[in-house]
Structure 1
Amino acid sequence: MKETSIQECEECLAPAEAFSTIANETRLSILEALWTAPERPVTFSELRRSVGMRDSAQFNYHLGKLTGHFITKTEGGYDFRHAGKKVVRAVLEGSFNEDPELPSFGISGACTDCGAGLQAAYADEQITIDCTACGRIHSRYSFPPGGLNDRTREEVMDAFNQRVRHLHCLAADGVCPECNGKMETTLRRAEEPDVAATVCVEHRCAQCDHRIHSTAGLKLLDHSDVVTFHRTHGIDLCATPYWEFAWCVSDEHTTILSSDPWSIRVTIPLDDEELRVTMDGDLTVTDVETFPTGTPADSRTTA
């Protein structure tokens, strides 16, 4: 783990000290009480009453340990600093203290290989989508346990769809969805025989080493030309789960034009037309063309 920023910041806490500070039931209770307070800042007496600690001196000791890094003291009482909110959100997310599972259940869409139905399951903080017949995996991404709370299975999948879209938008734009560090994108030819993609896209954070792997097509879900092309064919791309599009979950419609430098083309067929989108090694769109279905790849008759 890098500690450059800690060495340069005289008032920052070292990671071990930061975790030891909040590894206390009373201090977590203080953060929870501050979070659930109807209004902030919250006075000392109101916080102590919410936590339920009679010993004022002992409560003040724990409150002092949090003040400065996790919470701040104002004229009106106590309020959160960003680090304090992150702690509470991490608890609510459930990654620290929950490990739920959901058995397989049917979802919308059909297998891009055999046409059978799809199913989803939740385990190890991931949602996996695969085919009910051939077992082909169409998607597998992280989903914090807190995302399961107060949602039906359909609502969970709607949330998962939006989460994956936003994760890849951030990653492709160079922002790590975990730590906000610099994310770099690289392409390589798939070498594993059980991988459906012929082109592997990897987004890697230079700061925390968080990595996201995907097909090239996922980058196009919010591209204006792709959205418009689907709209003209009566499809709301934003409202349709990404796993229902073959060009998002496999490389069936992806062609490698060059690997030095990288140039790839994703072909999106709809009715009697197909949209051909060319991207470079950074997944930047360099060309978009619409053709009648079946037009040879080297034709340039339609803009």
Structure 2
Amino acid sequence: MSEAGEPGDPGDSSILDCDDCMTPAEAFAVVGNETRLSILEALWRADERPVSFSDLRKAVGMRDSAQFNYHLDKLRGQFVRRTDEGYTFRHAGWAVIHAVQAGSLTEQPEIAPFEVEGDCSDCGGPLAARYEDERVVVDCVECARTHANYPFPPGGLDGRTTGEVMAAFNQRVRHLHCLMADGVCPECSGTVETTVERDPAGYDLDVAVRHECQRCRHQLTTSVGQVLLDHAEIVSFYRDHGVDLNQVPFWTLDWCTADEYTTVLSDDPWRLRLDVPIDGPEGTPAGECEGERLTLTVDEDLVVREVERSPAGTATTSP
């Protein structure tokens, strides 16, 4: 019997351990064939799945049944699953098609800067967005301060106006942060570790939150405000003022894009305070609680421990 932690200990085994798994090189060699990609694309285009052998061959346009079966057999197991009714995708097959449709493998579009909603939190200048290197970047036209810089697959540009692209970008970034904050990597679904750190290199932040996937090493570094953007207390606070926060572009919210509204109360352990003023991108909305401010205090795990509402201009004291 093996000791705990030694090779062979069932408790140490990964659920991904297998004897017949492909290496990455083998997997790319399988799909790096025009006929096999055509098979995957035919499956994707099918109105219903599973697809029978004959219908799949007809969709690909290959007359030689034996040759078609040879290529289909190469895909079976890792990329395509055979059922009693025909053939359908396995996750790896979907991943290949998603990469093709996202445009990441075949497209390198760029969009020149165009005006977007919001004003610079530093100088009050106008904001402009551009698309390059598969990222949407929002900068101040006058002082060049960056308000947003996140990946956005080229496929997301297809059929959309610039306004629609930015609306989609707003929602995509929100969901990326939600997944990472919940401990799920948006790239590989691996486990994400979240830490708070001072002065991260390459970011205009004094204190930041870093998410890192422990499987694929995908990283996302952002402000405390961005992590808490969709927190129920903040969403309700805005709703009480007649604003649907989900529709507000995150890059227009100073407390979200910078850390000037974040106060470090303690760094051992971490204890942070975020002040959220109600003056959104269109100015302070009318209402009974006009001018209020929401204050959230969070611990080292970014869990909200205290919530307080107070009139604008009221001093916030540290505990």
Which residue matches 1:114? 123
- Alpha-carbon separation, structure 2, partners of 1:94 and 1:210: 20
- One-letter identity of the residue aligned with 2:118: G
- Confirm or deny: 8 A CA contact 1:6 1:14 kept in the other structure: no
* Aligned partner of 2:153 among 144, 154, 159: 144
Which residue does 2:285 correspond to in 1? none
Query: Does structure 1 conserve the Cα–Cα contact (< 8 Å) formed by 2:200 and 2:207?
Result: no
- Unmatched segments (≥5 aa) in structure 2: 1-12, 279-289
User: What is aligned with 1:214?
Assistant: 222
Alignment of 1:56-95 (within 5 A): 56-95=65-104
CA contact (8 A) 2:275 2:294 kept: yes
- Counterpart CA distance in 1 for 2:16 and 2:194 is 29
| Partner SS for 1:238 | helix
Give CA-to-partner distance per residue, 1:247-276, whole Å, 9 cap, x none.
Answer: 110012111111111111111122422111
Q: TM-score w.r.t. structure 1 length? A: 0.93
Q: 1:51 aligns with which of 60, 65, 82?
A: 60
Whichever residue aligns with residue 282 of structure 1, its letter is: D
**What residue number does 1:178 align with?**
187
Q: Aligned match of 2:277 in 258, 261, 269?
A: 269
Q: Aligned-pair distance for 1:296?
A: 2.3
Partner residue of 1:283 out of 302, 306, 315: 302
1:145-168 Cα offsets, whole Å, 9 max, x none, are 111111111111111100100000
2:28 to 4, 19, 35: 19
The aligned counterpart of 1:293 is 312
Kindly tell me: are residues 76 and 197 of structure 1, through their superposed partners in 2, closer, same or farther at Cα, counting changes over 3 Å?
same
Asked whether the 8 Å contact 2:30–2:74 carries over to 1, the reply is yes
For residue 134 of structure 1, report the CA deviation from its aligned partner.
Answer: 1.0
Deviations 1:47-90 (A, max 9, x none): 11111112221111001101122112222221112221111111
- With over 3 angstroms needed to count, the CA separation of the structure-2 counterparts of 1:50 and 1:191, relative to structure 1, is closer
Conserved in 1, the CA contact under 8 Å of 2:291 and 2:311?
A: yes
Q: Which moved more, 1:4-13 or 1:18-27?
A: 4-13
- After TM superposition, give the deviation of residue 299 of structure 1 in Å: 8.1
- Cα distance in 2 for residues equivalent to 1:227 and 1:116: 27
Give the aligned partner of residue 131 of structure 1: 140
The TM-score with structure 2 as length reference comes to: 0.89
Counterpart residue identity of residue 137, structure 2: T
Q: State whether residues 110 and 118 of structure 1, in contact with CA within 8 Å, keep that contact through their aligned partners in structure 2.
A: yes
Taking only the aligned residue pairs, the percentage that are identical comes to 55
Residues of 1 paired with 2:293 and 2:142: CA distance?
Answer: 29
2:177 to 168, 171, 179: 168
Q: Are 1:247 and 2:255 matched, yes or no?
A: yes
**C-alpha separation in 2, matches of 1:130 and 1:143:** 16
RMSD: 1.7
Cα distance in 2 for partners of 1:191, 1:146 equals 31
SS of 1:209's equivalent in the other structure is coil
Say how many residue pairs are matched. 296
User: Which position in structure 1 is the counterpart of 2:7?
Assistant: none
SS at match of 1:8: coil
Looking at structure 1, the residues matched to 233 and 107 of structure 2 have their Cα atoms a distance apart, in angstroms, of 41
Query: Which whole-Å CA distance do the structure 2 matches of 1:110 and 1:167 have between them?
Result: 24
1:49 to 1:252, Cα distance in 2 relative to 1, 3 A: same
Q: Quick check: 1:143–1:160 contact (8 Å CA) kept in 2?
A: yes
Amino acid of the residue matched to residue 143 of structure 1?
A: F
Q: d(CA) in 1 for partners of 2:242 and 2:84?
A: 57
CA–CA distance in structure 1, aligned partners of residues 91 and 304 of structure 2: 36
CA distance in 1, matches of 2:86, 2:200: 59
Paired amino acid for 2:166: M
How far did 1:12 drift? 2.3
Could you tell me whether the CA contact under 8 Å between 1:197 and 1:215 is conserved in 2?
yes
